[in-house]
Every structure is written in C-alpha cells, then in structure tokens.
C-alpha cells in the first residue's frame, strides 16, 4: 500500500490538512507562472550538519553537501562519498514524500576539490479527484464533500531532481604586517556549481540549467593572539541561480528562478584538546527579518548540533566510526518535522 493510501486511512481531517498543504506547494508548479516555484521543495535543504545547525549550510565549511549550499566551502582533505535519506511530512518510515541526496568529492592537489551531487524529491501516488463545478483541485483536497466519492479517480506523481557539478579552490594570501614577525595568512575559498534541474508533475515536464557561486574569507585568529577562546573566523557569501535560472515546461511556459543571496559568519574554537565548538549565523532572502543561527559541539567521535531555522528549532547527532560518519537530524517545518539520516565515508 502506498504512503498516500496509508494517509487516506487516517482521520479525514488529518489527511485533508496534509494533502491541502502539499497541494499548495505543487499546484503553482503546473501553471508555469513566473516566479520561484520550481525547485521550491529543495528549500528544505540537505545535509545532516547543515540542517541541524539551523539550516546554515552556506556558512559551514567542509561538509559533504557544500555543492548545494555554498560551492566555495566544498574543501576536503580526502576523497569522500555522502548519502542521505529524508522523510518529508511524516516519519522516516512513513512519509508523504522522500528527499534523497548522494554526492562524491575528490581533492585536486592541495587547494582544489571537485564535488558531484544529486538531489531528488519525490511524491508518489497523489490522488486525482474529478472536476466538480467551480471547485479547484486544492479545494477538493481540503474538503472531502467536493470529491464526488471516497476513492479518487486515479493517481499521479511529482518529482524534482538536480544534478550538480562543483569546483572549489582555496587561495592563500600571505600579508606582511610591520608589527608582526611572521606573515599573516588569509584564506580565500572560491567556488562555482553548475546544475541541471528537472521537474515532473503528472503530464507536465520542465528542464533548466543554472549556476551558483560562492566565496569565503577565513582567518585563524591564533596568528594574532594565543588564548583559550582564540579560534578560526569565517565570512561566507553565496548567490544561488546567479544568472536567473530558466526552466521550460513542455506546455511552452517558461519559469524564472530568481537569484537568491546568503551571507553568514562562523567561529570555530577548541578550548580543550580534541573538543571544538562551532558558532554560526546566516541571513538570506528566505529569512529577511532575522538570521538563522546554530551551534555545535564536536569531537573525534561525535558531533552534537542545534540551531534555529526559518520555521523552528533543528537538531542533529553525528557519530564517527573511523572514516565513516553516520548521522540523524530533525528539522522543523510549517507542515511538520522532517527527519533524515545520512552517512559519509572518507578514504
């Protein structure tokens, strides 16, 4: 039995609310109207670290999903592989939709890295109810009396996917200051992601291509003074869809995804050997009135992260088993929590 059919067996009010909420996201996509509709489901984000720390992924360096958040921060000392599964609008084993992520990263020399990532959002077996008078599709999902019967006429699917090719390079800029005996080293990571977007909603299809760019400035404050709370400071900046990504539907309509900017800062400090604290804050167009923020406690064996995202508190846990890291994150959204599990292998 499909997940949607399981939900239809719940009390009618509960199922109707969930279906109406999903439809509110899906229906604008089929219209082909101008605006930021396609790839909207990807706003949930990917990555255990990034999501758990308040969805501040554009400012967290060195994570396996930097291709999605900020290509400049894709830095890795070792080749890596990352996999993630998320249950959207429900638990991991019973959800209305699935969000899956896979990525591989390969260092190039001492300062470069290539990442290839794939993100796929899927909703299966969405009920199709007959058209009755002036009632809209959303109204029929929300009001059972407008459906014309208990069973739907049929089912359709929604799917969104994005394939990323990311390259990042870290430039090191030595500065000689008259009052310092040694040079002050600044790091300037720069990155770019090219992506192919694909969307399927029932008989409608859309495809497009876009570019994301990112930059960061990193300074190890321990070069300036030695102290318990002297650590590494990072400023990060990202523009997604910098050229204005255009998607063309098979209906002939063209949809424009407008550029979206993010800016953030992070501070990592290790007051005790083998223990590191991370503090991060980020502001973007989705949280125009106040920034997202997060914090983390990290050791060689585990990471605890928590943060305030756009719609509530997020948290996560990662465990290290040699070169393998496995994790869990819970994310607050307006339609209920999103749970995800992930694994990353470094070799």
Instruction: Tokens 């077996």: give the residue.
Output: 125
Answer yes or no: is 297 within a domain. Answer: no
Residue-level pLDDT at 148: 61
Answer yes or no: is 218 within a domain. Answer: yes
Answer yes or no: is 332 within a domain. Answer: no
Cα–Cα nearest to 332, from 66, 84, 89, 120: 89
Question: Residue 185 contacts by C-beta under 8 Å, 6 or more apart in sequence?
Answer: 172, 173, 174, 175, 220, 223
Residue-level pLDDT at 7: 39
**DSSP state, 273?**
T
pLDDT value at 196 more than 50: yes
Cα 247 to Cα 266: distance, rounded to the nearest angstrom: 34
Cα–Cα nearest to 84, from 339, 305, 301, 347: 339
Cα 37 to Cα 17: distance, rounded to the nearest angstrom: 21
Of the pLDDT bands very low, low, confident and very high (cuts 50, 70, 90), residue 131 is: low
Give Cα separations from 257 to 210, 222, 231 (angstroms): 9, 42, 38
Instruction: Tokens 């424009």: give the residue.
Output: 256
Residue-level pLDDT at 18: 46
* pTM (global) more than 0.85: no
List pLDDT tens digits, range 32-81. 444 444 556 688 899 999 999 999 999 998 778 999 999 999 988 789 99
Answer yes or no: is 196 within a domain. Answer: yes
Of the pLDDT bands very low, low, confident and very high (cuts 50, 70, 90), residue 188 is: very high
Answer yes or no: is 240 within a domain. Answer: yes
Provide the residue range defining the domain that includes 243: 3-46+61-263
The tally of domains found in the chain comes to 1
List pLDDT tens digits, range 154-187. 777 778 999 999 999 999 998 877 776 678 899 9
Answer yes or no: is 156 within a domain. Answer: yes
Answer yes or no: is 312 within a domain. Answer: no
Answer yes or no: is 315 within a domain. Answer: no
Residue 191: CA count within 13 A, CB half-sphere = 36
The mean pLDDT value of the chain amounts to 82
């Amino acid at each position: 039995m499909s997940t949607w059919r399981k939900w239809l067996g719940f009390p009618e009010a509960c199922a109707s609310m969930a279906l109406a909420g999903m439809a509110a996201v899906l229906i604008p996509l089929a219209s082909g109207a101008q605006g930021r509709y396609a790839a909207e489901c990807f706003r949930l984000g990917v990555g255990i670290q990034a999501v758990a720390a308040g969805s501040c992924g554009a400012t967290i360096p060195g994570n396996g999903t930097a291709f999605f958040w900020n290509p400049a921060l894709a830095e890795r000392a070792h080749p890596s592989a990352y996999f993630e599964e998320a249950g959207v609008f429900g638990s991991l084993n019973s959800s209305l939709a699935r969000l899956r992520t896979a990525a591989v990263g390969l260092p190039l020399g001492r300062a470069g890295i290539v990442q290839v990532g794939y993100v796929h959002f899927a909703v299966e077996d969405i009920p199709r109810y007959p058209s009755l008078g002036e009632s809209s599709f959303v109204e029929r999902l929300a009001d059972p009396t407008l459906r014309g019967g208990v069973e739907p006429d049929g089912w359709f699917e929604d799917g969104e996917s994005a394939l990323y090719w990311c390259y990042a390079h870290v430039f090191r800029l030595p500065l000689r200051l008259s009052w310092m005996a040694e040079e002050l080293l600044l790091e300037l990571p720069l990155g770019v992601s090219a992506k192919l977007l694909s969307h399927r909603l029932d008989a409608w299809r859309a495809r497009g291509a876009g570019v994301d760019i990112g930059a960061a400035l990193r300074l190890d404050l321990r070069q300036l003074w030695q102290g318990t709370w002297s650590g590494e400071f990072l400023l990060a900046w990202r523009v997604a869809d910098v050229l204005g990504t255009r998607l063309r539907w098979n209906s002939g309509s063209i949809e424009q995804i407008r550029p979206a900017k993010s800016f953030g800062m992070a501070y990592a400090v290790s007051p005790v050997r083998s223990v590191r604290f991370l503090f991060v804050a980020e502001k973007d167009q989705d949280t125009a009135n106040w920034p997202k923020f997060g914090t983390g406690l990290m050791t060689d064996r585990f990471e605890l992260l928590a943060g305030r995202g756009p719609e509530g508190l997020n948290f996560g846990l990662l465990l290290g088993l040699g070169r393998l890291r496995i994790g869990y994150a819970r994310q607050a959204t307006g339609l209920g929590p999103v749970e995800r599990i992930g694994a990353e292998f470094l070799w």
